[in-house]
Amino acid sequence: MAKRETKTDRRLAIAYVLVQAIILLLLIFTNISFGVSILKLAWPGIILEALGVIGVLLSAYSIRTSLTALPLPKEHGQLATSGLYRYVRHPMYTSVLVFALGLAVSSGEPYKYLLFIGLAILFAYKSKYEELYLAKKYAGYRQYANQTPKFIPLPRQKETIK
């Protein structure tokens, strides 16, 4: 079992979640027009939003009791490698990104695309942080990580978790 995280680790984990929540709230609840709009595609956006929600639900079901908002594994959690976790290491993040992209596409607002890009960057950092703790806690995580893509279920490029 890995050493328990410090207060600083926990604060950083909470900061990641707060920034994520702010970005998602801005995506969902704001509708600002700056006079410039990208092609608004309502139905494709709605389909992406629905796929994102379904992905979040399936991911949550796969990890059930190990589910936590923080990028720190639960003390008595289990490593998930089935369900959507067979295809990507972070299906919850992928699903949230699909949902966020759907919000941007259906609105056509450039700032929502920028928020989507910001969320993707945040998830890149948050997942790297999270994987440090997953590798410490679960003996098989490095092998799983080396065999499974991070976000997109494409043929693997070699990536090593340190």
Q: Is there a domain that residue 2 lies in?
A: no
What pLDDT is recorded for position 40? Answer: 87
Q: Is there a domain that residue 156 lies in?
A: no
Q: And the tokens for 43?
A: 């139905």
- Rounded distance between C-alpha atoms, residue 131 and residue 47, angstroms: 30
Q: Is there a domain that residue 77 lies in?
A: yes
Quick one: pLDDT band at residue 157, thresholds 50, 70, 90? low
% of the chain surpassing 90 pLDDT: 81
Quick one: pLDDT band at residue 1, thresholds 50, 70, 90? very low
35, pLDDT greater than 90:
no
Q: Is there a domain that residue 83 lies in?
A: yes
CATH number, residue 67: 1.20.120.1630
From 140, 128, 141, 108, select the one nearest 32 (Cα to Cα): 108
What pLDDT is recorded for position 159? Answer: 59
- 65-120: pLDDT as tens digits: 899 989 999 988 999 999 999 999 999 999 999 999 999 999 999 999 999 999 99
What pLDDT is recorded for position 32? Answer: 87
> What residue numbers bound the domain in which 81 lies?
7-147
| Terminal alpha carbon distance of the chain | 17
For range 127-143, the mean pLDDT: 95
Q: Which helix (H) or strand (E) segment is 143 a member of?
A: helix 141-147
What pLDDT is recorded for position 3? Answer: 55
Please give the tally of structural domains in the chain.
1
Q: Is there a domain that residue 140 lies in?
A: yes
- 36-55: pLDDT as tens digits: 888 889 999 999 999 999 99
What pLDDT is recorded for position 124? Answer: 97
Say how many residues make up the chain: 162
